[in-house]
Structure 1
C-alpha cells in the first residue's frame, strides 16, 4: 500500500487566493468569511480530487489503486501557492520576511497536526499492541520535527522490520518533504532578490527591468532544481525505491514545477482563452488517468510521476488565463470546494482511522464498507478540527500579526508533541502477576520436554526470553549485528562472513533468505562442535529457487536476487563446500503462468545446481507462518496466551504445494528436513508460540534467535556433520611411520 499525503498546506477556500497582500503563507486571507478577488476555485477543486484519490486508494476503493498520486498533485499546488505569495512579497518589499513566512506556516499547519498526533498516540496507547507503542512514539517525535520521511526511508530499507504494520502516523512523510523544501526555498528567494536588486536595481534602471531579470534568475534556479531532482527520481527509483519514494531529493522537482508556474503566471495570463480551457481539461484528464494507469507495481516516483505532475501544472497554468468552459466547471462544484477547503485536516485524520479504527470497532477483517464508515468518522473529526482548531487559530490577530508569537506557539506545540512522544516511548509493558516459567537450560530442561504442553500455556511468563519489548530485535547476529545479510538493493556477495571453527578443514554453507539466516544460531553451534567452517550467505527476501520474483517492498521484479545468486554460485564453484544448507520463505510472488509449479521446478533446478558444487545438500522446508504477530498478540493477551496459538492447518503456507516440493527435492537426492514436528504439536494440530520461558517467534514467520539456538540438537540429528578426531589422526600417523 502506498502511503501518500494530501497537501499538508491544504487550506480553506481562501487558500486559492494568491493576490491579496494580507493572505497567509498558504494563500489564506486573515478573514475567512470574505471570498477574495482573483479566486481560484480550480485549485480548491484540485485539492478535493487529490485528497479523494488518496483516500480511495488507501481504503481499496474500486479501480483506484493509483490514487496515491494525490500527494504529487498537492506538491505542485503547494509549490505554486507558496511561491506566488513569496514573489508578491518580493515585488512589494524587495525581500522576504523569513520569520513571517515560518510564523504563518506554524499558525496554519501545526495546531491541527498537533491535535492529530496527540489523538493518534492516545488511540495507539489504548487499542494497539503495546509492543508497537515505542515505534509509534518515535514516529510522532520525528513527525513533529518534520523528519519522519527520513525515518520511514531508513525503516523501509531495514529487512528486520519487514513484518511490521504501517505506522498510523506514516502519512506525515509528505509534510516533512514539503517543510524540508521550504527550509531552503525562501532563503534562496531572498538571496536572489538581494543579489538582483544590487545588480539590476540601480536608480537609473529601466522600469520593469529588475522584475524581469529577477524572475529570470528565479526561473533558472528552479529549472536547475527540477532537472536535478527529476534526474535523481528517474535514475534512483529502480535501485533505491524506498528512499526515492520518501526522499526530498526525488520530490523537490514536483514542488519546483508548481513554483515555475508561479514565476510564469503573468505570461500565462496572456494565453488565448480557448487554448487555456483545453489545457485545463487536458490536465485534469492526465490526473484522473494517473489514478487508473499507475498502480502499486509502478516504479514510483520515477518517470511515472511526470503524468500527475504535468496534469496539475497544466490545470494551474491554464487557470492563470481567464477563460470559460474549462475544467473549473467540474472543479468549481460546491461539494468539491468544501472538501478542498478542509482537505488538510481530512488527510491528517484519514490514515489513523484506517490503521486504528478497525481495532476500535472490533473488526478483525474490515471490508470496504467498514472503511467507508471510518472515513465518515474522519470527515466529522475533520469538520470539528477545522472549526474548533484550525480556523480560530489561523484568524487570531495576535498570532497572525506578530510573528514572534506565532513562532512561540509553534515551538510550544512541537515541544508538547515531543514530550508526549517521550512519555509514550518509555511506557513499560502491562504488568501481570504471572509467575516465572520453567527455564530452558539445554541440559536439564529442553524445548522437547515442554513442547507437548506449550499449546496449553495460559499466561505469558514473567521471565519470557526475549521479552515482548525486545522480540523484534532478537534476530540472528549475521543480520542484526554483523552485517552479513545482503540488503534488497545490493548484489554484494559477502564472502568474508565465516563462522563455526575458523581452523576447520571442512566447509558448510548456509544459503538463502532471512528464513535461512534464522537457522544460523543452531547451525553455527553445530559447526563449532564438529570443527567445520561455516559460511553464511543470505540476502533479504531472496529465494534460492530459480524463479522470477516480485519483491513486496521494491514493488517490482526482484532483479537483484538472481544477480546475487549468480555471484554466490560462482563463489561456491571456487570453494567447493562439503555441504550446503538452504531454505527460503515459501510466501513469494512468483511470475509465471503456473506459479506453484514454477516454484517447485525452480527449487529442483537450484538444488541440482548446488549438488554440482557440494558433496551434500540439505533442504529445510519452511516453518509455520502465523496470521498474527505472536509478540503483539501476547502483549494483548498476557493472561490468555492460548489466543495466540496457531492451528497447524492454518499455519503452513500452501500445504499441498509444500508436500509436492518436499517430494520433488527429495527425488534429486538432496536431504530434506521438515522442521514442523520440531515446533508444532502434531497430535493436537497446534503450533505454540511460547515454550517454557522462551518466545518462539520474533514476528509472524521468523524464529527468535533465542529459540533458534535451542533447535541445535534437532538440527544435529538431521545434519550429521563428521567431527574431526585428533586421536584418530594421531593413530593413523603412528601406523604410517
Structure 2
C-alpha cells in the first residue's frame, strides 16, 4: 500500500512522447505487491536529529517492515501506475501526482533512473500536505545527462532520445525544482586516446554530460537538486543481496551490514560528487538532520547526501530499527523512503519550497 496521493495522468505537451523508467533494469518493471497493508506502514514522525544504526538487540523476525515475503515488491506506486519507462521505450508517460497544474503551490519534476524514482513516495506524501504537483520523468537505466549512455557497449539510443525529449520539455516549461539522481554513470566513448583508461574516459564524459544538462535546465529557469546514489551492498569486493542475507541471518541483522566506502566505489556517486563540486552546488544535506542551511533558499544547484543517515559511522546496516532498508540491489524499500518523508520535507523547506 502506498501513499494516498491523487494520481493524475496528464497529457504534457511533449508531441509524440511518453515517459518511463528507472535505473533498476527490467527487474523493476512490474506492479507493486498490494498485500502489504497500510496499517503495517510506519509513521514518519521520527526525530529529525537522530541517525539510524544497526539494531542493538535482535529484532523479532515477524516484526520486520516490510515483511520479508514482500520486501522485493516494496516499491513506489509509480511502477504499478505505469509511470516507469522500460528500456525499449523512449516516450515519457506524462505521469503526475498531487495537485493540479492550476492549484499547485509548487511543481517538482523527478528525472533520471530508478535511483531518482525511489524517492517519489516521500514527495507524493509531501505533495498531499503541501499542495505540490510531482511530475515523473524516469526511465530504466537512463541517467538524465546530455551525453549518450552506454548499454552493453553500444549507445543506449532510447535513453538518448528520451533525455532529449524530457530536457526540451523542462526548458520550455520550467518547474520549481528538478530532483535527479542516477546509478548508471557509463557514458558512451567511441574513441580512446592511446593509453587512455576506458572507465576513466567514460566517467569524464558522463560528468561533462551531467554538468551540461544541469546548466541547460538552470539557464531555462529550473532549480536542480542532485540526490546521492546509494552505496551498493558489497563484501570482499563482491556485491551481495541484502534481503537474501537478512533471510539467512534475520535474528542477527548486523551480519548483513557492509562498508560504506566499498559500496560507494561501485555506485554512481563518484560522478555525482565531481559534478556538484565543479559546479559549486550548495550542500543541503544538513537539513536532513534538522540543521539550518544558509544560502540554500535560492541556490540554483543543490546537493542532497543521505549517506550520513543510511550509513552512520561508515557502515551501512540492512535495517533502521525494524525497517528494512534495501529491497533489491542498492534500491531502498518504499517503506524506508516513506519513513524519511519528514527529513525530505526539511530539505525542501531549506530550498525554499512552500
TM superposition shift of 1:451: 0.8
Q: 1:647 to 1:706 in 2, by over 3 A?
A: same
Secondary structure of the structure 1 residue equivalent to 2:135: strand
Quote the residue 2:159 is aligned against: 561
- In 1: Cα distance, 2:48 partner to 2:326 partner: 14
Which of 276, 293, 303 matches 1:662?
A: 276
> Match of 1:523, SS?
helix
Question: CA 1:723 to 1:667, structure 2 compared with 1: closer, same or farther past 3 Å?
Answer: closer
Closer, same or farther: CA 656–551 of 1 in aligned 2, 3 Å: closer
| Residue of structure 2 equivalent to 1:712 | 341
Superposition TM-score, scaled by structure 1 size:
0.36
Residue in 1 aligned with 2:311?
680
On the 8 A contact 2:175/2:222 being kept in 1, the answer is yes
Q: Is residue 455–residue 687 contact of structure 1 (8 Å, CA) maintained in 2?
A: no
Question: 1:470 aligns to what SS in structure 2?
Answer: helix
Q: Per-residue displacement from partner, 1:635-690 (whole Å, max 9, x unpaired)?
A: 11122211211111112136655532331243594111111112111xx3111111
Change (3 A) 1:467 1:601: same
Over the aligned positions, Cα root-mean-square deviation in angstroms equals 2.8
TM-score by length of 2: 0.73
How many angstroms apart in 2 are the aligned matches of 1:693 and 1:458? 10
User: 2:209 pairs with 581, 602, 625, which one?
Assistant: 602
Q: Indicate if the aligned counterparts of 1:689 and 1:696 stay in contact, CA closer than 8 A.
A: yes
1:590 equivalent to 2:187? Answer: yes
Does the aligned pair in 2 maintain the 1:440–1:692 contact within 8 Å? Answer: no
Question: Quick one: structure 1 residues 580 and 641, their matched pair in 2 at CA, closer, same or farther if it must change by over 3 Å?
Answer: same
Q: Which has the larger radius of gyration?
A: 1
| Counterparts in 2 of 1:702 and 1:569: CA distance versus 1, 3 Å | same
1:530 has 2:130 as partner: yes
Cα deviation, residue 559, structure 1: 0.4
Shift of 1:599: 1.8
Query: What is the CA-CA distance between 1:723 and the residue it aligns to?
Result: 6.3
The question of whether the paired residues in 1 share the 8 Å contact of 2:59 and 2:322 is answered with: no
CA contact (8 A) 1:440 1:446 kept: no
Q: Within the alignment, does 1:646 sit opposite 2:258 as a pair?
A: yes
Give the match for residue 195 of structure 2: none
Deviation of 1:159 (Å): 3.6
Match of 2:5 in 1: none
In 1: Cα distance, 2:263 partner to 2:55 partner: 14
Q: Give the match for residue 423 of structure 1.
A: none
Residue 615 to residue 543, structure 1, CA distance change in 2 (3 Å): closer
What is the alpha-carbon distance in structure 1 between the residues aligned to residue 145 and residue 330 of structure 2? 19
Q: Which has the higher helix share?
A: 1
Aligned to 1:671: 302
CA distance 1:509–1:545, change in 2 (3 Å): same
Residue 557 (structure 1) shift: 2.1
Map of 2:12 onto structure 1: none
Q: Does the 8 Å contact 2:145/2:209 carry over to 1?
A: yes
Partner of 1:451: 52
Whether the 8 Å CA contact 2:171–2:216 is kept in 1: the answer is no
| CA–CA separation in structure 1 for the residues paired with 2:340 and 2:111 | 18
Q: Which residues of structure 1 form unaligned runs of 5+? A: 1-155, 163-438, 725-737
CA contact (8 A) 1:450 1:692 kept: no
SS of the residue aligned with 2:61?
coil
Matches for 1:543-554 after TM superposition, within 5 Å: 543-552=143-152
Aligned pairs for 1:146-185 (under 5 A) are 158-160=26-28
Which secondary structure does the structure 2 equivalent of 1:590 belong to? coil
In the aligned structure 1, how far is the partner of 2:121 from the partner of 2:114?
13
Say whether residues 1:631 and 2:243 are aligned partners: yes
8 Å Cα contact 1:455/1:686 also seen in 2: no
SS at 2:261 equivalent: helix
Question: Unpaired runs of 5+ in structure 2?
Answer: 1-23, 31-40, 193-200, 234-238, 283-299
Greater share of strand:
2
2:114 is the alignment partner of 1:500: no
- The change in CA–CA distance for 1:634 and 1:519 in structure 2 (over 3 A counts) is same
